Amino acid sequence: MGERIDVHPSPLLRFTRPVQITPAAWDAAVEWTEADAERQGPERTADRLGGLLFSVSWAIAAQGRGATLAVDHYCTPRDGHARDYQRMVVMASMAPSGAVVIHLPDEQIEVDQATTLAVAVQKTAVA
């Protein structure tokens, strides 16, 4: 099953389920160290986390059918030289525990096929 990082999204993102991120996804899409800032420019880990959670919540609300969704997310890669956002794909899966798990496409996690991701984000009607 593997280690996961629990996150607590802002209520503005309307997650109705707990959210967890695998360490590999955290490292690729969220973490930003002082060394990264020196090489590639200033960013904040909190802002990167907020951007990732926004991308995931938007994807679930827009296409939340199935237990796993591919999510397009744009962020600065931690490659030592990039300064512009680039597209990366993360996966959002519903775990048997009911948590939304954000992971990389090559990571295998246990998925609850009986629960769709649509129930993970409260949809808001626009009048």
pLDDT computed for residue 126 by the predictor = 47
Containing domain of residue 75, as a range? Answer: 5-120
pLDDT computed for residue 125 by the predictor = 47
Question: Is 125 a member of any domain?
Answer: no
C-alpha distances (whole Å) from 66 to each of 9, 44, 102 are 22, 32, 15
Question: Is 84 a member of any domain?
Answer: yes
Question: Is 102 a member of any domain?
Answer: yes
DSSP for 35-54 reads HHHHHH----HHHHHHHHHH
pLDDT computed for residue 55 by the predictor = 94
13 versus 1: the higher-pLDDT residue is 13
**Spatial separation of the C-alpha atoms in residues 54 and 73, rounded to whole Å:** 9
34, two tokens: 């002082």
Is residue 104 scored above 90 in pLDDT?
yes
pLDDT computed for residue 10 by the predictor = 82
Write out pLDDT tens, residues 14-35: 888 899 999 999 999 999 999 9
Provide the sign of the torsion angle of the four alpha carbons 61, 63, 68, 74, taken in this order.
negative
Question: Is 127 a member of any domain?
Answer: no
Number of independent structural domains in the chain = 1
- The model's pTM is 0.85
pLDDT computed for residue 92 by the predictor = 94
